[in-house]
Structure 1
Amino acid sequence: MRRGTNMLWVTATASLALLFLARGRGGEPDTGIRRLRRIQGEEPGDGETKGDTRPVRAFWAILELPQRLLPPSVESRLFADLEKYVRLSGYTIEQLAGIRVLAGVSLPLVSVLALRFSPMGLALSLPLAVFGVMLPRLLSARNRARYFDSVRQALPHTADMLYAFILGGRNLDQAFRGAALSSPEPLRPLLARAVREMELGSSREDAFNHLLERCPVPELSSLLRSLLEAERRGHPLSTTLEVFSRDIRLRRRDQLRVVVAKAPLKMLAPLIFLILPASILLTVGPTFLATFNRVF
C-alpha cells in the first residue's frame, strides 16, 4: 500500500512537471524585433497566434471532456457560474469545467489514498473538494489580474509612441493607428481592434468606450478620456500625453515600492514553516538522533 501511494505521488509530480515544461516551451517572448517584423508583415499579426505544443493540446482536450460528456441538465447546474469568469481569464468554459471536475475529484482522492483511508484523510477530503470546486474562480481571477497588470505596464510605452506621432505632425487617428501597430502585448490587439472599428465607421468615442468595456483598466480609461477631452477643448495633445506619461510612471514606481515593501511579509511564512524547520533538522537532527541512539 505504501509503495502504491509513493508511486501515485511520483506520477502526479512527474505529470505536473511535464505539463509546466510543455507550457513554458510553447510561448515565445514578444521582443521589439518581433514587433517590428509584425509591422512589416513578416510575422503573424493580431489574431494569428501560434498553436500550443501537442502535449498541451492533448491535455486540454482531455480536460474539456467532462463538459462535453455530461448531460445538459447536469452541466447547467455544475458550470452555470463559470460563464462570468471566462472573460479575460485565458480559459474557455470547457477548460474551467474540466479543471473543476478534475480538481474536485482528484484532490480528495489523493488525500484519502495518501493518508491510507485514515480519519484525517477523510476529514481533509471535504475541504479539498471545496477547494477543487473553487479552483477555476481562483485561476480566472489570477489570470485576469495579471492581464490587467500587463496592460498597465504597456501603457507608458504606448503613451510615448502617441507622443512621438503627435510631435511628428500626425493627427489623433493617425497617431492612434501607429501606436496600435507598435504597442506591446497585450495592448496591441486591443488598440488594433479599436482602430478597425473606427475604420468601419464607428466614432472615436464609441470605439474608445468599446475598448474600455473589453479592458476596464482605470489607467487606460484615464488616457483615452484625456485624449478625447483635450481634442474637444482644443488643448495640445502633446502636453496631455506628456503629463499622462509622467504621471503613470510615477504611479507605477509607487506601486513597485508597495510591492517591495510587502515582500518581507510574504517571505515570512515560508521562512518560518519551511526553511527554518528544514534548517533545524539538518543542523540539530543528526546530533539528536545520535544522542537518542546512545540513550536507548
Structure 2
Amino acid sequence: MVAVSMGQFSATAVPLGLAAAAAGVVLLAAYAVNLLRSRTQVTVQGPTIGSTPRPERGSEGVFVLHRLTEALGGPLAPSVLRSFGERRRSAVAERIEAAGRPDGLTVERYVRRRTGEVVLYGGVGLLVLLAGQVFLGVVVFAFVFMTDLNLYVQAQERADKVQSQLPDFLDVLAVTVSAGMSFRAAVGRVADSMPGVLSEEFKLALQQMELGTSRREAFEMLRRRNRNESLSKFVTAIQQAEELGAPLSQTLVDISQDMRRADAQYMRRKAQRLNPRVTMVTAVTLLPGLLILVVGSMFIGTEVDLGLVLGG
C-alpha cells in the first residue's frame, strides 16, 4: 500500500515539477523579450575599474531574478574574481561602461550575478535534463548568459542613441563656441541644455577634467567607453585641431556635417542588416501556413480518401 502511494506521489510530482520548470522558463522568456524591447537605464551606485563615478540615478528597478542570482553567487564570487586577470577585468569593465552601467553594475556585482546564474539556471537545467526534457533543459541553460545579453542589448541601444544625438549636439556646440565661450564651458552648457546619453558622457568627461585629467586623456576614455565610430572621429578631429591650432568653431561645423553624412550611412547599413531578419521572420511565419493551404487544397480538390491513404 505504501509502495503504491509512493508510486502515485512520484507520478504526480514529476509532472508538477516539470510544469513548474516550464512556468519558470516562460517567465524568463517574458523577461528576455522585455529586455530586448526595454530602453530604460537605472541606478549607478559605484565606479568600475579605472573610471570616474557617473551621476547618481534611482536605485529602483533591479529585476528580482538578478537580485536572487547576486545573492546566490555572493559566497563564490571572491574566488571567481581572484581568478580574473587584469586584462579580463578591464574587458568586463569596458563592457559595463559601454552598456551605461545598468543597475549600477560593477565588476564585482557582475561576477556575483554571473556566478549565481550558473548556479541557479545551470542547476535547474541539469534537473530538467535528468527528467528527460532535453529541449526544456537547453532553454533553461541558455539563461546562464542573461547578464551578458543584457549588457550587449543596452550597449547597442546606447550606440544608436549616441549616433543619433551627435550631429545636433555638435551643431549647438559649434554655435556656442562661435559666440566666444571656451570649449569646456561650451560643452557643459550644451550638455545641460540637451539631456540624453551623449550629454551624460560629456558630463562625465568634464568631471574627469575637473579632477585633473587632461583633455586628451578624458576624451580618450570617452572614446573607449562608447566604441562609436562617429564619436571616435569627433575625438580625433578635436585632438588634431588642438595640436594644429585650427579654429575650433569651424572644425566643429565641419565635424557636424561629416557626422550627418555618417549618420545617414549608419542608418542605411542598419536597414540593410534588418532585411535578412525580416525575410527570415516572414518565411518562418508564412511558409508553414502556405504549405498547409496548398496541400489541403490539393487533397480537397482531388477528393482523396484520407482513410485509404492512412491505411484506415
TM-score by length of 1: 0.70
Deviations 1:183-233 (A, max 9, x none): 443222221122223334443223323333433433223213322332443
Partner of 1:58: 64
Q: Does 1:265 align with 2:282?
A: no
Match of 1:106 among 124, 134, 142: 124
Q: Pick closer, same or farther for the CA change 1:278–1:108 going to 2, 3 Å.
A: farther
Q: Distance in 2 between matches of 1:27 and 1:48?
A: 15
Does the Cα contact within 8 Å between 2:72 and 2:116 map onto a contact in 1? yes
Does the Cα contact within 8 Å between 2:72 and 2:119 map onto a contact in 1? yes
Q: Which amino acid aligns with 1:221?
A: S
Q: Pick closer, same or farther for the CA change 1:254–1:216 going to 2, 3 Å.
A: closer
User: Once superposed, what is the RMSD of the aligned Cα atoms?
Assistant: 4.2
Q: Pick closer, same or farther for the CA change 1:96–1:179 going to 2, 3 Å.
A: farther
Q: Distance in 1 between matches of 2:294 and 2:143?
A: 38
Structure 1: runs of 5+ lacking an equivalent = 30-45
Partner of 1:249: 260
Using the TM superposition, name which of 99-108 and 154-163 deviates more.
99-108
Q: Does 1:9 align with 2:9?
A: no
Using the TM superposition, name which of 194-203 and 253-262 deviates more.
194-203
Instruction: Show the 5 A alignment for 1:1-296.
Output: 4=16, 5-6=18-19, 8-14=21-27, 16-17=29-30, 27=40, 47-53=55-61, 56-70=62-76, 72-73=78-79, 83=89, 84-86=91-93, 87-88=96-97, 89=99, 90=102, 91=105, 92-93=109-110, 94-110=112-128, 113=131, 117=132, 121=134, 129=141, 131=142, 136-281=147-292, 284=295, 292=306, 296=312
Q: Pick closer, same or farther for the CA change 1:100–1:245 going to 2, 3 Å.
A: farther
Deviations 1:93-131 (A, max 9, x none): 122333333343334544554xxx27xx29x967975x5
Q: Distance in 2 between matches of 1:257 and 1:22?
A: 25
Does the Cα contact within 8 Å between 2:125 and 2:138 map onto a contact in 1? no
Q: Pick closer, same or farther for the CA change 1:79–1:181 going to 2, 3 Å.
A: same
Partner of 2:48: none
Q: Distance in 1 between matches of 2:139 and 2:21?
A: 21
Name the structure, 1 or 2, with higher relative contact order (CA <8 Å, separation 6+): 2
Q: Which amino acid aligns with 2:235?
A: L
Q: CA deviation at 1:245?
A: 1.2
Q: Distance in 1 between matches of 2:60 and 2:268?
A: 36
Q: Pick closer, same or farther for the CA change 1:69–1:204 going to 2, 3 Å.
A: closer
Q: Pick closer, same or farther for the CA change 1:266–1:221 going to 2, 3 Å.
A: same
Q: Distance in 1 between matches of 2:74 and 2:271?
A: 45
Does the Cα contact within 8 Å between 1:157 and 1:183 map onto a contact in 2? no
Does the Cα contact within 8 Å between 2:25 and 2:139 map onto a contact in 1? no
Q: CA deviation at 1:283?
A: 7.0
Q: SS of the residue aligned with 2:260? A: helix
Using the TM superposition, name which of 243-252 and 216-225 deviates more.
216-225
Query: Which protein shows a greater Rg?
Result: 2
Q: CA deviation at 1:280?
A: 3.5
